[in-house]
Each structure stands twice: as structure tokens, then as C-alpha cells.
């Protein structure tokens, strides 16, 4: 195998599993250590720099970091990364003075941001300090996009959202709320140097051809429209019996919101088997905890309407059958169709993009799915001064992805406005420093705790179901937060090997508790993976291969289950191993 | 603060026939100097016992004094142990073995512990063919007392401080063979591939199984000019061949001796499979084995691998005809068989 190039910033970045998996690449272990140290403000600012909405995300993030967390590979559950973020947000001191302070010297460039969701707000935050004049247009009356219209208050209180949206708007953004942009052409002609489209995926799927759809229309609602109307207080009640169709997170928010506005007998009905539902496991748990049954393998057949009034729905029972490629088919079980009573039905079966307001003769190309053609690196459309990001770019995802897109688009817009090549992306900022403080002393807590994941306490169900705005999760108390933070394996403290120092005494190989290190003759990767002390079967994790050593062997370290305990460095007589703290920050616009 | 060994192990750690993983054969975290050869030998012992599915409570670790003699604290934490006085491990092991022949006796000693202060005891344990494994972690110095030359330091070897050893070295492997040890092997701490099967075979051997393991003292004897440094040993090792230990459960198909391959049947029905590199050497012939050792020494080589094995000679219990039952299991009835038995004995002495 080739010698590992540890100078390539992506090598060590990949070792920091959580940070690597995070779309915005937030330096997770760095802020977790700060939380353990009680330095909540600094922990918050690291998050804010990177993901812009720590308080929001600490409650609502889809947390792609957690399935990636190394801890999940050595014990049962990953570190509660997301909920630790909330601890930083809830316990920080005043932070505004730590943020860029306006007024900023204008740079003479004017940008339009269409849509007021996390994608546009991220672009605004990145560009405002550089002196851009930013005009944000949104049809809603307040900023936040779907974070406001869709994510219910019992998961995300308004105060938290307002605070973080306002940090950005207070940077001197020119807001144009209650303004639906009906024509991109108008904006293009408006004299902007660049335009960012962050309009999300605002259309909920319907079942227009299901029998009874028209007749029952008064009591059949599109989930995301209904959630928005609850959020903006146009709707405040629903019937006692509610069917929610769909298996994603929108369905979970619909059913739980229903329980708070009059729904007593609320059921979720989903076509797929329970285990394959799109909703995150914790969202499903929370729904079930609120006495909402989830009936899987039910395919809707019709709305049953009597005397002009919706009575319920008919379903066919199916079961999944998989072909040899693992492709799933839902086949009828042959059982009798099922009738389920309902006063109201909420359709939460998916979301789509919709760009009726973009003229098709502007030079902005659309693909066969009617989606704009957008570059995945630069987020530029085929109309050079128009950029996309968030759900509007590649379909519905989540807040953190919208933020990540926003950062990339801001970099592009900044390069574009300075007439630079937007394909030449600036390098990330990295730093690698030894964590050694003395004998048996490191600048991080190297011992590995055996605590299992701590559970975030919830408010009493009686209270939360009675008040739509009462936040369900209470967040970790500080003592538990400390213990949870200590579960982090400090994957950013890298094991760094210096060949010239190694005397091949095997001490590191013998001491490594998870058998990460092997001294062995070099081979092709597949063979090498098999011939290590413990075969390296997880191919998503790299092998760290040294140059040839005097005995002709190489040092091979399987990064997979390294605990970053530092014992290798501790037991090495020559300091050929050192533990070094690696910091990786994606570049932001103007840096 | 580091130096606390995490509880987690590799999630795919294999299990042996007892359902144990290698973790169950570990001891405390070593306090020896980082990079000490002794730690590698401990790791080989853990591996050998794991692979052989030794029941930890069926093994007793015996040692004297020295860094080497400290190592039983760092392996087989669930086994019995006796850390005796400097150089006195052989007599304690002899006593323990006579009292309970059912345990595996695993002796660990140093070159000081064996070749200096303990020489008088060592030779008699060998001579009696006491049924035990006896490993010398040989670093050519007294590590624990800061690196004075030991009796196995080679003549002309230079100490860290620069002084040259004027005395001839005691060659423990030759000595053991001369005294009648029935299993003699030599190895290097940095070669677990060779060492682990040698340990496994030694544990199966009935009789005195001696392994002299060159084990660099990284702190006091790893300097240029030392003949027990990592670099020097690596440059001068010469293997007799490789040894595989074949447990008795596995069927042997190969013929007894076939070219440079030899099979040695052990008492319990298991086999040693030797792949010889050295020619003119027959591991079952003491003269041939001694010659091979002497010749290697004359060439300045350290001959490693299995040197000599004799499965015919009786171990101490057989020689003495002692009871098959461990003493702690003998009942009062066994020990005081009554007046009639006594008068029979007395009659026999008339
Ligand atoms: C029910 C539900 C729950 C969700 N829960 C979570 C969650 O817990 N965690 C998570 O990470 N993600 C969640 N999401 C997804 C998340 O909200 C979105 O992925 C994210 O908000 C997308 O951000 P954005 O900036 O691309 O667009 P959006 O947040 O959708 O914002 C776009 C804004 O632009 C406005 N707009 C659209 N067209 C125009 C126009 N022509 N003129 C003016 N304004 C316009 C829209 O009204 C909207 O306010 C959820 C989504 C739904 C539907
Ligand atoms: C009776 C007695 N005499 C002297 C000592 C001092 N002493 C302790 S260890 C040691 C030498 C140990 O050398 P070795 O057996 O080679 O072990 P190493 O530390 O090199 O592994 C000596 C002389 C002692 N502990 N007891
Ligand atoms: S830090 Fe070193 S000793 Fe600890 S698990 Fe990783 S490689 Fe092994
Ligand atoms: S402990 Fe240090 S010197 Fe020894 S093998 Fe490992 S890296 Fe090399
Ligand atoms: S002094 Fe030498 S023998 Fe003792 S622990 Fe240190 S390196 Fe090993
Ligand atoms: Mg010694």
C-alpha cells in the first residue's frame, strides 16, 4: 500500500468521524471538550462559526454525526453530540460581542437572497461582515424558513429560533418579509451582483387521485401546509380522530402537533415496515411515547366520505418481499381491507420543489425532473450570477445541509463578485499540535469512560400535550452533560507516527487495547487488511501506513476502533508516536 | 492523565474454546520502562495461553526478583502466582509442584535471577526435570537495579556508561541442555511469531521446558556496543527453523520425517511440527543440538528456535513415584490408612 500522506488535511479529517460526517464539518470533539470544561460560551462560538444555529440544531438536527461516531463502533451508542450542543447554547453567557460587529465597511456589492430559511441566512451571515449589501426576500412574516413554519415549537421554542435568526438579521441585512418573489427575471434585472436562491422545497405531496379526495377535501390537509398554519396560528384545532399518512419526520411532527390541538385518537399509517420508515428512530419513539400508534404495512385505498363528511379511510394490508438484489416490493397479504375512522387526515407523504416563479427563458437550465442544474461544489446555476442552496438546490434535506450549502455558496459568491475563478476553492484551515504536557500528561482527558449514553430528560407529558409551545425535552443538566461529554473519544487528537524514531520494539502494538497497530511486511490493501493483528474489515476506515522501517516492515494502523487513549504514545520509548490535536475548519467566505 | 487502560477491546476479538477472549488473559498495565522487551514476552504469553484455551485457574505463575520477575503482574491476572525471593523461584516452584501436580507451573526469571544469585537453585530444578516452563527474559544486565552487567553479558559487550565486560558469558541454553533439561529453546522478544508457538509447546512438554529469550533492556542495555540491543540481536539472530504447535485434537497427516520437516510427538498426543532451516541438526539428539549451539556461537550468531527436545525422560513426579492426587485433595483416610496398613508397612521394613 502507498505510504499515508498525513499532510493531506483530509486524512486526519476523516479520522474525526463526527466532524467528517457533519455536512458543515463542525469541530465536534473540540466543542465537547469545552463543554466538559464548563466553557459553554466558547463551545457555543465554535458551533456558531460553523453551523450558525447551535441552539436550533442542538434540538432539531438530523445528526448525521451520531451514526458516524466512533463510540458506536466500540460500544452500544454514540455520544449524544447533538444534545451536548444544546447544553452549550442554553448555558452560554452573552455572545453577541464575540460576533462580527457592524456597521461593516461596504464593498459596493449588492446581493439578493430569495427565501428566509437557514440556507439564505447562512449566506447572509458569511457575507455581511465582508461589506456586502444584502437584501433578503421571504414570503413569511419572519425569518427562519421551515425552521419556523414546520418545526413545531414543542421541539424548537420561538425564543431560541428568534435569538439565532436575529444575530444574523442584526448584522444590517435589508429584510423584505411578506414578499413572495413572483419572478426571478425581476430580481435579475434589479441590479444585483449575485442572487442566491434559498426557497426550499415548499410543496407537499398530495394524493389527488385517491377516491374520495375531492369529496372529503374539507378535512384532508397537506401536512406541511397544515403545520405552517398551526405555527402561524391560523389553525388551532383538529378533530378528535386523526389519521396521519406517511412515515417521515413530517408525519411525526403532524401527529404530535395533532395531539396538542385536539387530536385524541391519532394514528400514523405508513406503507413501509416500521423499521424502514424514513423518520429518525428518536422521532418515532417520541411519537409512540405520546400514545400515537404507528400502523405499518398499510397502503391507502380510499377516503371514506358519507353525506359529504369524511368518516375515515380504507387501507390494504401488505407485507414486504425482497428480491435477490434486496429491492423491496409491497405485496398484499390477502387479509381483509381495513377501515380506520377519522375526522381529519393529514398527508405527510413527501415534499417537492416548485419553481413556477422562475422564468424558463432566462438561461437558467432545468433538468428532466424540473430541478435547476446546480454545480455540486460551487452551487452555481447555469445562469452565472445565480446560486442555489438548501432544499432548493437538490431537494429536501435538513437544516445542517442547508447551512453547509450556504457556506459553499457564500464562498462562490465572494469569489464571483471579485472576478475570481470560483472552481479554485480556498483550502481549509488546519492545525496540528502535540498534546503532550509531561509524563503521563496530555492536554485532553485521555482515559476512556465506560458510561453508557445518558438520556435527555423530558417534561411531564401532561404538561406538554396541553400546551403546544411547551418544549418537551429539558436538556441535560450540567452534571450529566459533563459525564456525557466525557464519553467522547477525542478523535481529533490524532496518533502521529514518526518512522525515523521507531526502534520496532513492538510496545505500541502490545499495549493498544483495541489492537490498532501492526508491524508487518507491506502488501496490497486487501491483503494487508487481512493480515493485521485484527483484520481491518471496516473498509470505510483508512489504514495509516508508514514508510519502510529498518527491518523491512511497515507500521500499519487501522483507524477503525482506535480509542485515542494515547497508550501507544505513552508506551513508546522514543516518542515515535505522539498524540497531536488536529483542528480543521472549512474555509468561510473572505478567509 | 493517561496510563489508564481502557476497558474496551476490539469488537471482533476472537473467542477460544472456553469462550474467553485474550482480554481474559491480560494482567495489569505494565509499569516496566516503555519499550522493554519483557513486555513483548508477556504479550506472547497472553497470546499462547489464549490460543491454548488454558483455564486461568489451572496455572501458577512463579517468579523471583527483577524487572523480568515483575512481569507476572502484567499477564494472566486470573491465575495463581508466587513472587518469591531473588533467585529462589526454582525451590518454591519445586515445592508447589510437588504439592499439586495438576497445575501448570509457569516460571519467569531474569538472567540475574537465574544465572547469578539463583544459579544454585536453577541447576537442580533442571537436573530433576521438574515439570514446569522456565522462561529467562535475558537482557544481559540487572535491569531493576539500573543495568549492572549480569553473568550472561557477553565478553566485550559495552555498557551504556562505556565500560567493557571482561568476563565470559554463561550460555544458559547450553547449560540447561548439559544439565538434562528436556526442552530447550531460544528466542527473541521481538519475534512473537517464533516465540508464541515455542511457549505453547513448552506448556505441553512434560518435564523441564527452558526458553532463553533475549529481551533488550531499552533503558540500560540498548546502546551501541551492547550485544543485547534491539539492533544487535536483529542483526545476529539465526533461526534453527520454525515451529508449529499442533494440538492433539488435530490429525497429523504428514509422515514422521520428510526432508527438512520433522514431527515430534508430545506426551499428551500433540505434536511439534518443525521446519528446519539449520542442517546437521537433530533436535532430538543432545550432541547434535549442543554442536549447533556451539557452532553458532563461534560464528557470533544467536541461534533461535527449538534447540532440543526429549520426550522420553521422566519428569520429577514419575521419577519419585509420588501420589497422583494433589496433596490438598488427599483425605484423612488417604493419609491415615489405619493400624493395619501401618503394620503392613512395618512388616515390610523388617
Ligand atoms: C415538518 C418538517 C419538519 C422538519 N424538521 C426538521 C428537523 O427537525 N431538523 C432538520 O434539520 N430539518 C428539519 N426539516 C427540514 C428543514 O426544515 C429544511 O431542510 C430546511 O429548513 C431547508 O432550509 P432552506 O433554507 O433550504 O429552505 P426553507 O427553510 O424551506 O426556507 C425557504 C423559505 O423561502 C420561502 N419561499 C419559498 N419560495 C419563495 C419565493 N418565491 N419568494 C419568497 N419566499 C419564498 C419559504 O416560504 C420559506 O420560508 C423539517 C422539514 C419539515 C417539513
Ligand atoms: C537477595 C537479593 N539480592 C539482591 C537484590 C537486588 N536485586 C534486585 S533485582 C536484581 C537483579 C535482577 O536482574 P535480572 O534477574 O536480570 O532482572 P531484570 O531486571 O534484568 O529483568 C538484584 C541484584 C535483591 N532484590 N535481593
Ligand atoms: S491511541 Fe494508540 S493505544 Fe490507544 S487505541 Fe489508538 S492506537 Fe491503540
Ligand atoms: S513503541 Fe515506539 S519505538 Fe516501539 S515499535 Fe511502537 S512506535 Fe516503534
Ligand atoms: S530497566 Fe530495563 S529491564 Fe527493567 S523495565 Fe526498564 S527496560 Fe525493562
Ligand atoms: Mg536481566
* Each residue's pLDDT tens digit, A120-169: 999 999 999 999 999 999 999 999 999 999 999 999 999 999 999 999 99
pLDDT at B258 over 50: no
More confident residue, B297 or B153: B153
Nearest 5°: CA angle at B288, between B286 and B293?
95
What is the predicted pLDDT for the residue at B263?
Answer: 78
For residues A31 and A21, what is the distance between their CA atoms, to the nearest angstrom?
A: 16
Q: What is the DSSP string of A509-565?
A: HHH-TT--EEEE----HHHHHHTSSS----TTS-EEE-PPPTTS-EEEEE-TT----
pLDDT range class, residue B245, cuts 50, 70, 90: confident
Distance B239 CA to ligand 2 centre (A): 30
Give the pLDDT confidence score for residue A342 in this predicted structure. 97
Q: Whose CA is nearest to atom 1 of ligand 4?
A: A572
User: Minimal Cα–Cα distance from B153 to chain A, Å?
Assistant: 20
pLDDT at B256: 44
- Report the pLDDT value the prediction gives residue B255, as an integer from 0 to 100: 43
* pLDDT score of B254: 45
B249 pLDDT above the threshold of 70: no
Per-chain mean pLDDT for chain B: 92
Chain B within 8 Å of A276 (Cβ-Cβ)? no
Nearest residue to A397 via CA among A190, A91, A145: A145
| Ligand 1 nearest-atom number relative to CA A57 | 11
Cα(A419)–Cα(A479) distance, rounded to whole angstroms?
52
Whether B141 lines ligand 2, by a CB cut-off of 6 Å, is yes
Across A87-126, where does the E strand assignment appear? 110-114
Q: What is the mean pLDDT of residues B318-343?
A: 93
Is A9-97+461-486 CATH 3.40.30.10?
A: no
- Helix or strand holding residue B263 (H, E): strand B261-265
ipTM tops 0.85: yes
Homologous superfamily (CATH) for A104-202+353-417: FAD/NAD(P)-binding domain (3.50.50.60)
The pLDDT assigned to B269 comes to 79
**Nearest chain A residue (CA) to B192:** A506
Best mutation site among B65, B85, B219, B228 for ligand 2 pocket (most ligand atoms within 8 Å of CB): B65
* Chain A interface mutation, best of B8, B218, B222, B224, highest count of A Cβ atoms under 10 Å: B8
Q: What is the pLDDT of residues B196-233, one digit of tens each?
A: 999 999 999 999 999 999 999 999 999 999 999 999 99
Q: B1 pLDDT exceeds 50?
A: no
pLDDT > 60? residue B17: yes
Q: What is the pLDDT of residue B79?
A: 98
Instruction: Spell out a b/e string for B133-167, using b for 16 or more CB atoms within 10 Å of the CB, else e.
Output: bbbbbbbbbbbbeebebbbbbbeebbbbeeeebee
Q: At the top level of CATH, which class does the domain B22-244+277-320 belong to? A: alpha beta
Q: Judge if pTM exceeds 0.90.
A: yes
Q: Is the CB of A512 under 6 A from ligand 3?
A: yes
What distance in Å separates the CA atoms of residue A106 and residue B316, rounded to the nearest whole number? 96
Query: A565 in ligand 3 pocket by Cβ < 6 Å?
Result: yes
Residue B144 Cβ < 6 Å to ligand 5: yes
Instruction: Give the ligand 1 atom nearest the CA of A146.
Output: 29
Q: Please report residues of B whose CB lies closer than 8 A to that of A513.
A: 5-6, 8-9
If one looks up domain A205-350 in CATH, what number appears?
A: 3.50.50.60
% residues pLDDT > 90 (chain B): 80
Minimal-distance CA residue to ligand 5 atom 4: B143
CB pairs under 8 A between A and B: 106
Q: What is the pLDDT of residue B200?
A: 96
The closest CB to that of B43, out of A446, A510, A513, belongs to A510
Among protein residues, the one whose CA lies closest to atom 6 of ligand 2: B145
Quickly state the pLDDT bin for B251 (edges 50, 70, 90): low
CB B212 within 8 A of CB B275: no
Q: Among A513, A531, A563, which would you mutate to test the B interface (most chain B Cβ atoms within 10 Å of its Cβ)?
A: A513
| pLDDT of residue B330 exceeding 80 | yes
Spans of chain A below 70 pLDDT: none
pLDDT at B281: 83
Say yes or no for a CB contact (<8 Å) between A570 and B34: yes
A282 in helix, strand or coil? helix
Residues of chain A contacting residue B13, judged by C-beta atoms under 8 Å apart: 515, 534
Contact A341, A219 (CB under 8 A): no
Q: Is the CB of A556 under 6 A from ligand 3?
A: no
Please, where in chain A does CATH 3.50.50.60 lie? 104-202+353-417, 205-350
Q: Which residues 523-562 in chain A show a CB within 8 A of chain B?
A: 534-535, 537, 550-551, 561
pLDDT surpasses 70 at B24:
yes
Burial of A236 (0-12, 13-18, 19+ CB in 10 A): exposed
Q: How far is the CA of B143 from the centre of ligand 5 (A)?
A: 5
What is the Cα–Cα distance from B129 to A242, expressed in whole angstroms? 86
Asked if A572's CB is within 8 angstroms of B43's CB, the reply is no
Amino acid at each position: 500500500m502507498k505510504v499515508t500522506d498525513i499532510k493531506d488535511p483530509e486524512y486526519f479529517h476523516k479520522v474525526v468521524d463526527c466532524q467528517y460526517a457533519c455536512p458543515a464539518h463542525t469541530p465536534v470533539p473540540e466543542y465537547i471538550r469545552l463543554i466538559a470544561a464548563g466553557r459553554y460560551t466558547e463551545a457555543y462560538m465554535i458551533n456558531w462559526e460553523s453551523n450558525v444555529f447551535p441552539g436550533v440544531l442542538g434540538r432539531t438536527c438530523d445528526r448525521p454525526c451520531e451514526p458516524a461516531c466512533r463510540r458506536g463502533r466500540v460500544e452500544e451508542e454514540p455520544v449524544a453530540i447533538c444534545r451536548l450542543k444544546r447544553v452549550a447554547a442554553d448555558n452560554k453567557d452573552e455572545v453577541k460581542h464575540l460576533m462580527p460587529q457592524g456597521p461593516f465597511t461596504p464593498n459596493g456589492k449588492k446581493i439578493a437572497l430569495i427565501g428566509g430559511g437557514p440556507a439564505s441566512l447562512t449566506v447572509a451571515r458569511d457575507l455581511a461582515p465582508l461589506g456586502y449589501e444584502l437584501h433578503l426576500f421571504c414570503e413569511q412574516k419572519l425569518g427562519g424558513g421551515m425552521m419556523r413554519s414546520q418545526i413545531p415549537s414543542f421541539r424548537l421554542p420561538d425564543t431560541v429560533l428568534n435569538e439565532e435568526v436575529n444575530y444574523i438579521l442584526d448584522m444590517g441585512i435589508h429584510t423584505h418579509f411578506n414578499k413572495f418573489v413572483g419572478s426571478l427575471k425581476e430580481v435579475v434585472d434589479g441590479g444585483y451582483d449575485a442572487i442566491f436562491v434559498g426557497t426550499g422545497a415548499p410543496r407537499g405531496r398530495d394524493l389527488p387521485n385517491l377516491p374520495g379526495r375531492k369529496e372529503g377535501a374539507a378535512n384532508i390537509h397537506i401536512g406541511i401546509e397544515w403545520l405552517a398554519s398551526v405555527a402561524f396560528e391560523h389553525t388551532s384545532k383538529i378533530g378528535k380522530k386523526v389519521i396521519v399518512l406517511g412515515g417521515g419526520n413530517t408525519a411525526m411532527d403532524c401527529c404530535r402537533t395533532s395531539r396538542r390541538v385536539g387530536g385524541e385518537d391519532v394514528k400514523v399509517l405508513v406503507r413501509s415496515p416500521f423499521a424502514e420508515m424514513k423518520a429518525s428512530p428518536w422521532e418515532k419513539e417520541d411519537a409512540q411515547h405520546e400514545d400515537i400508534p404507528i400502523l405499518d404495512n398499510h397502503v391507502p385505498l380510499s377516503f371514506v366520505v358519507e353525506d359529504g363528511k369524511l368518516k375515515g379511510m380504507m387501507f390494504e394490508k401488505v407485507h414486504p418481499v425482497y428480491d435477490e438484489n434486496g429491492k423491496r416490493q409491497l405485496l398484499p397479504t390477502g387479509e381483509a381491507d381495513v377501515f380506520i375512522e377519522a375526522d381529519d387526515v393529514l398527508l405527510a407523504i413527501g415534499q417537492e420543489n416548485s419553481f413556477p416563479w422562475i422564468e424558463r427563458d432566462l438561461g437558467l437550465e432545468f433538468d428532466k425532473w424540473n430541478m435547476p442544474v446546480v454545480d455540486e461544489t460551487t452551487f452555481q446555476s447555469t445562469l452565472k450570477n445565480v446560486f442555489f442552496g438548501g432544499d432548493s438546490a437538490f431537494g429536501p434535506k435538513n437544516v445542517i445541509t442547508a447551512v453547509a450549502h450556504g457556506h459553499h455558496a457564500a464562498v462562490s459568491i465572494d469569489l464571483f463578485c471579485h472576478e475570481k475563478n470560483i472552481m479554485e476553492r480556498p483550502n481549509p484551515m488546519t492545525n496540528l499540535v502535540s498534546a503532550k504536557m509531561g509524563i503521563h500528561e496530555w492536554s485532553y482527558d485521555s482515559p476512556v469512560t465506560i458510561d453508557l449514553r445518558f438520556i435527555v430528560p423530558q417534561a411531564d407529558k401532561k404538561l406538554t400535550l396541553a400546551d403546544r409551545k411547551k418544549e418537551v425535552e429539558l436538556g441535560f443538566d450540567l452534571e450529566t452533560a459533563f459525564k456525557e461529554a466525557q464519553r467522547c473519544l477525542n478523535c481529533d487528537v490524532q496518533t502521529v507516527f514518526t518512522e525515523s524514531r521507531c526502534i520496532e520494539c513492538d510496545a505500541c502494538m502490545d499495549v493498544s487495547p483495541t489492537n490498532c497497530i501492526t508491524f508487518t511486511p507491506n502488501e496490497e490493501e486487501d491483503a494487508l487488511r487481512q493480515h493485521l493483528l485484527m483484520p481491518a474489515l471496516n473498509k470505510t476506515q483508512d489504514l495509516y501506513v508508514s514508510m519502510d522501517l529498518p527491518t523491512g516492515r511497515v507500521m500499519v494502523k487501522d483507524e477503525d476502533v482506535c480509542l485515542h487513549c494515547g497508550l501507544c504514545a505513552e508506551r513508546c520509548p522514543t516518542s515515535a508516536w505522539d498524540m497531536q490535536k488536529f483542528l480543521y475548519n472549512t474555509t468561510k467566505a473572505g478567509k | 492523565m493517561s496510563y489508564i487502560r481502557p476497558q474496551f477491546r476490539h469488537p471482533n476479538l476472537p473467542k477460544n474454546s472456553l469462550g474467553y477472549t485474550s482480554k481474559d488473559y491480560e494482567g495489569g498495565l505494565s509499569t516496566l520502562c516503555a519499550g522493554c522487551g519483557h513486555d513483548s514476552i508477556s504479550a506472547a504469553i497472553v497470546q499462547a495461553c489464549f490460543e491454548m484455551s488454558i483455564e486461568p485457574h489451572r496455572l501458577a505463575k512463579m517468579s523471583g526478583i527483577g524487572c523480568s520477575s515483575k512481569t507476572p503482574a502484567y499477564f494472566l491476572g486470573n491465575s495463581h502466582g508466587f513472587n518469591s525471593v531473588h533467585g529462589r523461584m526454582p525451590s518454591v516452584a519445586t515445592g508447589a509442584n510437588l504439592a499439586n501436580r495438576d497445575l501448570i507451573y509457569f516460571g519467569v526469571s531474569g538472567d540475574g535471577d537465574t544465572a547469578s544469585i539463583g544459579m544454585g537453585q536453577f541447576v537442580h530444578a533442571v537436573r530433576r526435570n521438574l515439570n514446569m516452563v522456565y522462561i529467562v527474559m535475558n537482557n544481559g544486565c540487572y535491569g531493576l537495579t539500573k543495568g549492572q552487567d549480569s553473568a550472561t553479558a557477553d565478553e566485550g559487550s559495552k555498557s551504556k556508561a562505556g565500560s567493557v565486560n571482561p568476563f565470559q558469558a554463561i550460555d544458559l541454553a547450553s547449560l540447561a541442555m548439559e544439565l538434562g533439561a528436556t526442552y530447550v529453546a531460544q528466542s527473541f522478544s521481538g519475534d512473537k511469531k517464533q516465540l508464541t508457538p515455542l511457549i505453547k509447546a513448552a506448556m505441553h512438554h512434560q518435564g523441564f521446558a527452558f526458553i532463553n529469550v533475549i529481551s533488550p533492556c531499552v533503558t540500560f542495555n540498548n546502546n551501541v556496543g551492547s550485544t543485547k540491543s534491539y539492533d544487535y540481536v536483529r542483526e545476529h539472530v539465526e533461526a534453527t527453523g520454525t515451529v508449529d504447535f499442533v494440538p492433539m485434537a488435530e490429525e497429523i497427516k504428514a509422515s514422521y520425517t520428510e526432508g527438512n520437516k520433522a514431527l515430534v510427538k508430545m506426551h499428551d498426543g500433540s505434536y511439534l511440527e518443525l521446519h528446519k532451516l539449520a542442517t546437521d541438526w537433530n533436535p532430538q539428539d543432545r550432541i547434535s543440538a549442543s554442536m549447533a549451539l556451539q557452532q553458532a556461537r563461534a560464528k557470533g550468531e544467536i541461534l533461535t528456535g527449538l534447540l532440543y527436545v526429549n520426550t522420553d525422560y521422566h519428569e520429577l513426579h514419575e521419577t519419585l513415584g509420588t501420589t497422583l492426587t494433589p496433596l490438598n485433595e488427599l483425605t484423612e483416610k488417604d493419609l491415615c490408612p489405619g493400624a493395619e496398613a501401618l503394620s503392613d508397612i512395618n512388616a515390610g521394613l523388617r
